[in-house]
Amino acid sequence: MERKTKIIAEEGKQDLVITREFDLPLELLFKAYEDPEIVSQWMGTKVLKLENKKHGSWAFETSDPNGNVVFKASGVIHDFVPNEKIVRTFEMENILFAPQLEFLEFEKLTEDTSKLTMQIIYKSIEHRLTQLKLPFAQGLNMAHNRLEEIVKKLK
């Protein structure tokens, strides 16, 4: 069975909902969010801090192969209930986007399957659109860079 990630972004709203069903028991799905070592593996970023508790905070940082920091994000954890939910903020550093509020809900479907529902609330409708556009823009960017490389080789 294909377990696809779904994005619900209703018109005129400033939130979006990401849902995904996993071929994993609830406890393992939650562990992937709880254990800094595992988080860093699937998020592809360094976990500098991850305090899994009410009023805790977290910080991620990603560097390129030359050691330059290319991505830095942090936030605070408002609520942390194992195997149930995480409420936290997310903010990218050195960039003028407002922080976003995230509600993560973990659900048991069967003994071996589980579901994650992630609601993200943005400051405005425009902010949501910008975030949705980012990977699209990055995709264009990458395509363009590849094209430039090919063109350079042809010269």
Partner 1 sequence: MTSLYLQSNNCIMEIRRDVFQAIADPTRRAILSLVAVQSMTPGAIAENFESSRQTISKHIQILSECELLSQTQNGREIYYHLNPQKMKEIDNFIEPFRKMWDDRFNKLESIMKNYKK
Q: Which of 1, 4, 95, 155 binds partner 1 (CB under 8 A)?
A: 4
CB of 128 to partner 1, least distance (A): 11
Contact flag: residue 148 with partner 1 (CB under 8 A): yes
Q: What DSSP assignment string belongs to 61-123?
A: EEE-TTS-EEEEEEEEEEEEETTTEEEEEEEETTS-PPPEEEEEEEEE-SSS-EEEEEEEE-S
Please report which helix (H) or strand (E) contains residue 101, including its range.
Answer: strand 100-108
List binders of partner 1 among 61-120 (CB under 8 A).
Answer: 116
Q: Which is nearer to partner 1, 34 or 51 (CB)?
A: 34
Whole-number Cα distances in Å, 102 to 14, 146, 151: 12, 34, 42
List binders of partner 1 among 29-68 (CB under 8 A).
Answer: 29, 31-32, 38, 41-44
Give the footprint of partner 1 on this chain (CB under 8 A).
Answer: 3-7, 9, 11-12, 18, 20, 22-25, 28-29, 31-32, 38, 41-44, 116, 129, 131-141, 144, 148
